[in-house]
Chain A
Amino acid sequence: EAQVTQNPRYLITVTGKKLTVTCSQNMNHEYMSWYRQDPGLGLRQIYYSMNVEVTDKGDVPEGYKVSRKEKRNFPLILESPSPNQTSLYFCASSSTARGLYEQYFGPGTRLTVT
């Protein structure tokens, strides 16, 4: 089954404790991206990657890091989480050949930073 998986689905942590949210896709997609969803603000892009070792900032990259060492994985790293990073996070992927913007989304990770 074609899918994007994220782990963990729920996470409660404290300010300053480094965390990683994993994302993996099994569709051999080149493009991967991270979004956060907040009430009244919709979905905002954090980082995206056009392929292995190629990453670029989205609209809200501050406080986040990403890496793309393998085509299937695109982890999101919060080195020192703060309460304003409490949000619902989505990973997505797409094929640059078949439609960059027609993205498959994961189920989401709800993060709470206290």
Chain B
Amino acid sequence: DQQVKQNSPSLSVQEGRISILNCDYTNSMFDYFLWYKKYPAEGPTFLISISSIKDKNEDGRFTVFLNKSAKHLSLHIVPSQPGDSAVYFCAAGGGATNKLIFGTGTLLAVQP
């Protein structure tokens, strides 16, 4: 059973526009959510996170929104740049374990 879901395997946007990546989760015990970015032939790198006590966190061009009632989080990238082209994984942790559960990833392509 996939506890963290990214329903869009891929997304294509034009340079300068907004990219919106979505993630849904099923376990209400999760209390910390993260986005990781992965380039080919490299390991994932941490991008941004949000605690369940917040509904928004910003870091430069990246903003993560959390809607706990809908069990949904999203990552907004504004403006999108070609260097943002990568696979983005959302992840969730917390509750009674120290595990980190990842989604299946969304491949973002930013077209020049």
| A residues lining the B interface (CB < 8 Å) | 4, 31, 33, 35, 40-45, 48, 50, 56, 58-59, 90, 92, 99-108
Contact = CB atoms under 8 A, between A and B. Distances in A.
B100 A4 contact: no
Chain A CB within 10 A, most for which of B89, B93, B100, B102: B100
B18 interface: no
B98 interface: yes
22 contacts: A31-B98, A33-B100, A35-B102, A40-B104, A41-B104, A42-B102, A43-B91, A43-B102, A43-B105, A45-B102, A50-B98, A101-B32, A101-B91, A101-B93, A102-B34, A102-B46, A105-B36, A105-B44, A107-B43, A108-B41, A108-B42, A108-B43
**Which range holds the interface residue count of chain B?**
20 to 34
B43 A100 contact: no
B33 to A, nearest CB: 9
Interface in B46-97: 46, 49, 89, 91, 93
Contacts of A102: 34, 46, 49
Contacts of B105: 42-43
Given A43-B105, A50-B98, A101-B91, 13 more contacts: A33-B100, A42-B4, A42-B105, A43-B91, A48-B98, A56-B98, A58-B99, A90-B44, A92-B43, A101-B93, A105-B44, A105-B45, A107-B43
B13 to A, nearest CB: 22
A105 B43 contact: yes
A31 B100 CA distance: 12
B2 to A, nearest CB: 8
Contacts of B103: 42
B20 interface: no
A4 B44 CA distance: 12
